[in-house]
Amino acid sequence: MTASSSFASQSSEHHMNIITVPTSTEAVEKAATIVADEIRSHAAPVLGLATGRTMESLYALLVARYRKGALDFSSMTSFNLDEYVGIAASAPQSYHTYMHEHLFDQVNMQAGHGHVPDGMAADLDAECAAYEDRIRASGGINLQLLGIGETGHIGFNEPPSAFDTRTRPVVLDPITRQQNAGMFGNNPDAVPERALTMGVGTILDAKRLLLLAVGGGKAAIIRKALLDPMTPDISASAIRLHKDCTIIMDDAAAAEWKRAA
């Protein structure tokens, strides 16, 4: 039994389901169950995927379910939120590599069905427009997974990111380059200065959103994203506009929100 508490927002148009559980393990398990159920409920599921440390354990659980024969990825298409500009897809730091290592090559996904923006494209704007077209052509994203960065970003929607932004090149915030330096020899200056990211508007177009946040490092930004006035300076605050949004946190990530709510 997990002690979990659930909070549904008061507004009738918007439904935010906030689930908190004591440990990060339980949070990731809950998220994995929601993702697995979503995959099973569509003949041809379209998932929006995220990267970062938080998601690594979620993908590990999905791979474990696949290996037990409990999950089938053969008809799934996916679209990742973002990719660094100027990092080759084959480089260890790319989000292409991350996705192949943690999911695409571990399950029975069809080759070419896992889409990640091409940060090496000669024409980055054209690549972003083509990415939007590919999402639209797939019928749209059924469930978009989200993490949250220390700047309050979803995807790489750094402050300020208007809520109607689409997939585009962005300049990464110094805080984000610091946060993501681990893969770049702990040197923030080695982290690319730019990235391609789905826009806030692109993310809000997904039929469902699932944000996963664990650890005390996320507590302050979670409180701001959920309780401060919605602002392009915290792109994660935009998820409050969505009709079907679930947020899963462990107690550490939820602590400041709980105290202030």
**Where does this chain bind ligand GLP (CB under 6 A)?**
50-54, 81-82, 147-149, 155-156, 176, 180
Distances (CA, A) of 54 to 13, 24, 68, 76, 145: 30, 9, 23, 22, 11
For the bound state, the minimum distance from the C-beta of residue 44 to ligand GLP, rounded and expressed in Å, comes to 25
Q: Are 201 and 239 in contact (CB under 8 A)?
A: no
Distances (CA, A) of 105 to 66, 92, 110, 139, 143: 12, 15, 10, 24, 21
For the bound state, the minimum distance from the C-beta of residue 206 to ligand GLP, rounded and expressed in Å, comes to 14
39 versus 172: smaller Cβ distance to ligand GLP: 172
Q: Which helix (H) or strand (E) holds 46?
A: strand 46-49
Number of H helices and number of E strands within the chain?
Answer: 8, 11
CA count, 13 A, side-chain hemisphere, 161: 32
For the bound state, the minimum distance from the C-beta of residue 244 to ligand GLP, rounded and expressed in Å, comes to 19
Radius of gyration from C-alpha coordinates of the chain: 17
The SS3 call for residue 219 is: helix
For the bound state, the minimum distance from the C-beta of residue 168 to ligand GLP, rounded and expressed in Å, comes to 14
75 versus 143: smaller Cβ distance to ligand GLP: 143
For the bound state, the minimum distance from the C-beta of residue 188 to ligand GLP, rounded and expressed in Å, comes to 13
For the bound state, the minimum distance from the C-beta of residue 85 to ligand GLP, rounded and expressed in Å, comes to 13
C-alpha 229/C-alpha 227 separation (Å) is: 7
42 versus 194: smaller Cβ distance to ligand GLP: 194
108 versus 217: smaller Cβ distance to ligand GLP: 217
Q: Report the length, in residues, of the chain.
A: 261
42 versus 181: smaller Cβ distance to ligand GLP: 181
Residue 33 makes CB contacts below 8 A (sequence gap 6+) with none
For the bound state, the minimum distance from the C-beta of residue 8 to ligand GLP, rounded and expressed in Å, comes to 24
72 versus 150: smaller Cβ distance to ligand GLP: 150
20 versus 235: smaller Cβ distance to ligand GLP: 235
1-6, Cβ contacts within 8 angstroms, sequence gap of 24 or more: 2/26, 2/30, 4/30
